[in-house]
Amino acid sequence: MKLLASDYDGTLRMKDKVDKTTIDAIKQFQAKGNIFGIATGRCIDLVKCELDGQEIPYDFIIGNNGGTIIDKAGNILENNLIEPKLAKKILQILGSFKPDQLGISDGLTYGTNYPLLETLMPSLRFYAYQKPDVFKMIEKGQITSIFVYFKQFAKKQKAMEAIKNLIEDLACSTNDEMIAVCNKGITKKHGVAMIAEHFGCDDVYVIGDDFNDIEMITYYHGFTVESANKEIKKIASRQFKNVEEAIEYLMG
């Protein structure tokens, strides 16, 4: 039995929707008794609406860069919450920089008072996603991840500098103008390790394309795609056109 964890945006989804031939390849991979799932920076519901809408089969979803893990039945296997007072302080500081997007996740849902940017998630226009009340989420103190996006890279750098003393006990990943904050030790690598243990599988493969995939790809000698960031290509063991081609290699 093989286990493949794929990043979603830029790896599995390269256009508005995932190619049907790739979806068929996933089904064939699973039909052979293998395990397939997603490892994404998005919260669970924000990616699940797309997977279900496109009828993409999955055995697990690792969301929030490893902060939340569910199985295909929707059971929560793990959800790591940031200490509430610390989370509120980080939100206050990041908000003072007037970002183009600032939101939080309780693990499953994504809450924000900002419009959902199609530049970040263009495929959302095809799927219904109901944003929860972000203030109620903050009041409950159930915050797994904090996400902030700046169109200007310089503003992101200043925001990072402002919170650097607060995030010593947290994990912070960045992709271009995006900052994602979660608990210390929480990465996609952590999520993949947890799900591999859950399934009792030690034949593990991963594929991704951006900076938040680095630790996962490095540890598992993982794959990347041709359109990936050049730094990711340097560390990947193999490079494929898409996930379909990677699955063909694993089944060959």
pLDDT (tens digit per residue) in 41-92? 999 998 999 999 999 999 999 999 999 999 999 999 999 999 999 999 999 9
Average pLDDT over residues 116-127: 70
* CB contact at 8 A, 72 and 129: no
* CB contact at 8 A, 187 and 215: yes
d(CA 78, CA 80) in angstroms, rounded, equals 7
DSSP E strand stretches across 169-228: 170-175, 178-183, 204-208, 223-225
Radius of gyration of the chain (CA): 17
| Close Cβ partners of 136 (under 8 Å, ≥ 6 residues apart) | none
What pLDDT, on a 0 to 100 scale, did the predictor assign at position 176?
A: 66
pTM for the full model? 0.92
Q: Is the pLDDT of residue 37 over 90?
A: yes
The CATH number of the domain covering residues in 3-79+187-251:
3.40.50.1000
Residues of the chain with CATH 3.40.50.1000: 3-79+187-251
E strand or H helix at 77? strand 76-79
**How do residues 134-192 score in pLDDT, each as one tens digit?**
778 888 888 999 999 998 888 888 998 888 877 777 888 777 678 899 988 899 999 99
d(CA 43, CA 131) in angstroms, rounded, equals 12
Select from 3.30.1240.10, 3.40.50.1820, 3.30.1340.30, 3.90.25.10 the CATH code of 84-183. Answer: 3.30.1240.10
What pLDDT, on a 0 to 100 scale, did the predictor assign at position 51?
A: 95
Q: Is the pLDDT of residue 130 over 80?
A: no
- The gap from C-alpha 40 to its chain's centroid, in whole angstroms, comes to 2
| Close Cβ partners of 127 (under 8 Å, ≥ 6 residues apart) | 49, 50, 53
